[in-house]
Structure 1
Amino acid sequence: MTLFLLVVIRAGKRPNSQERAVDKGAAPEESIAQAQQTIVDSFQCLGNWMARYEYLIDLGRSLPDFPEKWRTEANRLHGCQAQVWMVSELRDYKLFFQARSDSAIVTGLLALLMQVYSGRLPQEILSHPPDFLRAIELEQHLSPNRANGLFHMMERIRLEAQGALDAEAAKAKP
C-alpha cells in the first residue's frame, strides 16, 4: 500500500482515503526506518508547502474514528495549543496508539506519528527518534505553538513506551 501511495503522489495526484494505508490496529509491515523514509519520499514528491499542508489534512481525515468517550482530561495532551487526545493499548507486547485533535493540521501531524510508531515494540519506539520530521523540514514550517505541541505529542509516545517497558520489567521481578 505504501508503494502505491508513492506512485500516486509521483503521478501528481494526492491520494484519497481509499488509496492510503490506515492503521486499523494491525501491526505495520514496514520497519520504523522504512516508515520514516516513506514519509520523507511522500513529502519530497509533493513539492510546495501548500500541497504538503493539504496532504497533512488528508492524512488526518484518514485516521480511524476516535470515540467521544476517549476525549477525556486523562487522555488530553497538555502543552499543545490545540486540543489533542491520545490513547494507547499494549497488545502482544506492541503499543497501538490512536489520537485526534480539534485542529485539522494537528490531526495530520498525529497521523504521521501513528504511521511511524503505532503497532511497534516499546523498545523500537524508544530507539528511533522522529528523524523524518527534520528531513521533511516540518518543524521549520510550523508555528512555534504547533512545534511545541508536536514535541509534546512525541514525548507522550515515548512516555507510553517507557511505561510499557517498566511494567514488563516489574512483572519479571520475583
Structure 2
Amino acid sequence: MTIDEEQRAIVEEFEGLGDAFSQYTYLLELSARLPAMNDSEKESCVLVDGCQSQVRLAATANDDGTMRVRGDSDTLIVRGVLFLIVRLLDGRMPAEVASTPLSFFEKTDLKSAFSDERIAGFASICATIRTLSKTIADSQGDDRQ
C-alpha cells in the first residue's frame, strides 16, 4: 500500500471506533505498542521543536534504500500518534516520505479533541520527518528515488 492508502485505512479504522473519546482511548492503547527508546538511542535523535511534550525522532537509511523511522515521547497520547506515524513510514523510500503529506490526523475526530498546541505539535513532527527524509533521500542520490 502507498502512504496515502495506508492513511485512508487508518482513518477508516478510527471511524469504526466511534466518537473522539473512543479514538483517544485507542491512541492510549497504541502508545503501549510503540517500542521504547533507550537513553543512548534518545541521545542520537532529533528533539522536535514546537511540541508541548518531549518528542524524539530518528530516521536512518536501511541497506535497501528504505528508511527506518523511530519515535518516542514522554506523553502517552503522543506516543500513540507516533506509533501510527512509524507504522505509516517505517520501511518506505525517503523520497516518498518527503513528498507525501501526513493527513490522517486531520481526517479523524481526534482533531476536535486536541488543543491547538497539540495540533501544532503534530505539524512540527511532520515537518521534522519531512526534513529527515529529504536529508536521507539527498544522501542517496537519484538512483534510489
TM-score, length-normalised on structure 1?
Answer: 0.75
1:152 aligned residue: 124
**1:46 to partner: Cα distance:** 0.6
Matches within 5 A, 1:29-40: 30-40=1-11
2:37 aligned residue: 66
1:24 aligned residue: none
2:12 aligned residue: 41
Q: State the structure with more CA Rg.
A: 1
Q: Which residue, out of 98, 108, 112, partners 1:140?
A: 112
**1:138 to partner: Cα distance:** 3.2
Pair 1:130 & 2:102 matched:
yes
* Structure 1 SS opposite 2:129: helix
Q: Tell me how far apart the structure 1 counterparts of residues 91 and 45 of structure 2 sit (CA, whole Å).
A: 22
Aligned-pair identity (%): 28
Q: CA RMSD in A?
A: 2.1
**1:74 to partner: Cα distance:** 5.1
Q: Tell me how far apart the structure 2 counterparts of residues 64 and 156 of structure 1 sit (CA, whole Å).
A: 20
Q: Which residue, out of 24, 33, 36, partners 1:53?
A: 24
Q: Tell me how far apart the structure 2 counterparts of residues 45 and 35 of structure 1 sit (CA, whole Å).
A: 15
1:116 aligned residue: 88
5+ long unaligned stretches in structure 2: none
Aligned pair in 2 of structure 1 residues 71, 44: CA closer, same or farther (>3 Å)? same
**1:137 to partner: Cα distance:** 4.0
After the TM superposition, list the runs of 4 or more consecutive aligned residues in structure 1 that deviate by more than 4 angstroms. none
TM-score, length-normalised on structure 2?
Answer: 0.88
**1:146 to partner: Cα distance:** 0.8
5+ long unaligned stretches in structure 1: 1-29
2:61 aligned residue: 90
- Residue 77 of structure 1 contacts residue 86 of structure 1 at CA under 8 Å; is this kept in 2? yes
Q: Tell me how far apart the structure 2 counterparts of residues 73 and 80 of structure 1 sit (CA, whole Å).
A: 18
Pair 1:105 & 2:46 matched:
no
